[in-house]
Chains A and B, each alone.
Chain A
Amino acid sequence: MGFFLETLLGGLMAGMLYSLVALGFVLIYKASGVFNFAQGAMVLFAALAMARFAEWIPQWIGIDNRIIANLLAFLIAGAIMFVVAWLIERLVLRHLVNQEGATLLMATLGISYFLDGAGQSIFGSASYKIDIGMPKDPVMVLQDVFPGGLLINKEDLYAALIAALLVASLSLFFQKTSTGRALRAVADDHQAAQSIGIPLNRIWVIVWCVAGLTALVAGMIWGSKLGVQFSLTTVALRALPVVILGGLTSVPGAILGGLIIGVGEKLSEVFLGPYVGGGIEIWFAYVLALIVLMVRPQGLFGEKIIDRV
């Protein structure tokens, strides 16, 4: 029982990280109807930027304080993501405004390839570390309830906290600020939003920036946990079924979907895996999303798609 709970908790933590990446997808899709295949590449790009700048800043300015170096690196990486967002809107999105979904999907795929190559050209392709001071040691809890207690990774705990903070601040942003209101208006109806004077292009830049920031936070946490390397882009591919499960247009769906997939993956790997040869993590999320799609084509929380003739 104790082992089961441990696996469950581990899954929840991992799921939280998926949710972070999925959030970026949902944000962009809600506001512009574009499915951003490049989200994973953005996570990697942002993580690379932060990792390298955290290295370079002490060399350039000679500050020895790690916290200040990390903070500066974070800010610079954030600024870089802003530039990336602006460039994407200007060079790509603006020209593809009325194209069909498949075209936009392919365009974001092209962007993801470009960011991959660019990130590794500019920042290098070795494996880098992000050290933001996360405690790496585990902690044992509930030792009186279960023999030996439950093992919880402190780093995962902090990561989950940061993710929760991010989601809370995003929710506040969307609900309470005027920009957030404008974003929700654009997500609802492009033309109506334009007709009341909301500048569509600027909104899209803002959305991609927010997605970029989410990517940065996700990259920071993932990078701190796993190290920053090319395999981070596969994280995006793992986040896709999360988005599908939760529904493309739902923020709570992304969160819940991430948790479900995280838990599901861990549990299935530990309890099912040994019977079928192991390594089922690579397809479990996808097959789960597939099964849900057959029963509920719009995902758990998505909007129903109605076809009119």
Chain B
Amino acid sequence: MFYRENGQFKTSYRADQQIFPITQDRWAVLALIGFAAIGVPLLADDYLKSAILVPFLILSLAALGVNILVGYCGQISLGSGGFMAVGAYAAYNTFVRIDGMPLIVALLSGGFFATLVGIVFGVPSLRVKGLYLAVATLAAQFFCDWAFLRVSWFTNNSSSGSVAVSNLSFLGWGINTPTSKYLFCLGFLVVFALMAKNLVRGAIGREWMAIRDMDVAAAVIGIRPMYAKLTAFAVSSFIVGVAGGLWGFVYLGSWEPAAFSVDRSFQLLFMVIIGGLGSIMGSFFGAGFIVVLPIVLNRFLPALGSLVGVDISTAGISHAETMIFGALIVWFLIVEPHGLARLWSIGKQKMRLWPFPH
């Protein structure tokens, strides 16, 4: 019944190729961005903004990067935490060592260095696939862990091993309140999401998906496997690196290498799988799910426990969280391996046909 495309005919290929060909979708997304930019800062309280929305935005950006590599190009990567770390520490060094360095340039330079590291550790993808590649990317993760822990130049010779940034500003406006932090991250996310969407619907996106689906046939068509795989690593690491910079600068303020450990890599991979591989929207869904889940569990588990007369300690809650998390992952993979994005499009499909079942 809700057949949104009704009456909308395209008269040019250009119109047919746009990101949101259906008018309602276009309006809906513009309204959403407008609400996010104007409504949310007015309506949300500081806790919501700084503890939930800011991490959600930054992790969505990181999940976007990981999705490009894992979802669109089919290269399993367990090293995303390491790339975030490279982004954060490179941005830190440019920011701190060069006087008068604008914040945006520092963050982008973090992405740039992450790209270099990503390309280097992406070279194994030309030789191995699947599980072997996953292990190769873990090498990147652990190497980065060690480098930022032991090589003191990276931490500006900090004695405690952790680094901190302050006095962030963008074009004169300070990035120090929850609202300003939120808007800053939102801006990055919108710009990068748009560029990512353009990439995946263009020629390079098709090359990535061809490599994912059948890389032997891809070479026969004239696609260069090396170029496709390395660009996937490069673009993905750039986005993940910038996200890492944002995570350290805007969300944490001060951090240690442990903030970007292998657990972070697993977390990003879970986001992408639960959200939907090969889907820009899926990255947002996955990030939202993973960010919100611990908070929901934290709120409701003690209450649930007291209902059955079980007193759950804080340690108990965190163990229960881990258990529920693991069980949910397995459940998701069994029920809908293509993630929330697939459930979303199935839902829209059903809305088209409603009230008919099929």
Q: Which residues 185-211 of A have a CB within 8 angstroms of B?
A: none
Please give the distance in Å from B109's CB to the nearest CB on chain A: 25
Whether the pair A293, B330 counts as a contact (CB closer than 8 A) is no
Q: Which residues 112-143 of B have a CB within 8 angstroms of A?
A: 123-124, 127-128, 130-132, 134-136, 138-139, 142-143
Please give the distance in Å from B75's CB to the nearest CB on chain A: 10
Pairs A–B under 8 Å by Cβ, sample size 30: A35-B131, A92-B334, A95-B334, A96-B334, A106-B333, A107-B333, A109-B266, A109-B326, A109-B329, A110-B333, A111-B326, A111-B330, A112-B326, A113-B322, A113-B325, A113-B329, A114-B325, A117-B319, A117-B324, A117-B325, A241-B135, A277-B152, A283-B139, A283-B145, A286-B135, A286-B143, A287-B139, A294-B123, A294-B127, A307-B216
Please give the distance in Å from B85's CB to the nearest CB on chain A: 13
Contact of A106 among B128, B269, B315 (CB under 8 A): B269
Please give the distance in Å from B66's CB to the nearest CB on chain A: 13
Asked if A121 is at the interface of the complex by the 8 Å CB criterion, the answer is yes
Quick one: CB contact mask for B126-166 with A, threshold 8 Å, 1 for yes? 01101110111011001101100111100000000000000
Please give the distance in Å from B211's CB to the nearest CB on chain A: 13
Please give the distance in Å from A92's CB to the nearest CB on chain B: 6
- Assess A237 versus B319: contact at CB under 8 Å? Given A114-B330, A286-B139: no
Q: In the complex, how many residues of chain B place their beta carbon closer than 8 angstroms to a beta carbon of chain A?
A: 48
Question: Quick one: closest A residue to B138, CB to CB?
Answer: A286
Whether the pair B329, A106 counts as a contact (CB closer than 8 A) is yes
Q: How far is the CA of A277 from the CA of B321 in the complex (A)?
A: 37
Instruction: Return chain A residues, CB-CB under 8 Å to B295.
Output: none
Whether the pair A286, B142 counts as a contact (CB closer than 8 A) is yes
Beyond A109-B326, A111-B330, A290-B136, 6 additional contacts (C-beta under 8 Å) are A107-B330, A120-B319, A121-B316, A286-B135, A297-B128, A309-B220
Query: For chain A, which range describes its interface: under 10, 10 to 19, 20 to 34, or 35 or more residues?
Result: 35 or more
Interface residues of B (CB under 8 A from A): 70, 76, 123-124, 127-128, 130-132, 134-136, 138-139, 142-143, 145-146, 149-152, 214, 216-217, 220, 262, 266, 269-270, 273, 315-316, 319-330, 333-334, 337
Whether the pair A118, B150 counts as a contact (CB closer than 8 A) is no
Instruction: Return chain A residues, CB-CB under 8 Å to B135.
Output: 240-241, 244, 286, 289-290, 293
Instruction: Return chain A residues, CB-CB under 8 Å to B316.
Output: 121
Interface SS of chain A: helix, strand, loop or mixed?
helix
- Assess A279 versus B149: contact at CB under 8 Å? Given A113-B322, A125-B319: yes
Question: Quick one: closest B residue to A92, CB to CB?
Answer: B330
Q: How far is the CA of A237 from the CA of B132 in the complex (A)?
A: 14
Whether the pair B76, A102 counts as a contact (CB closer than 8 A) is yes
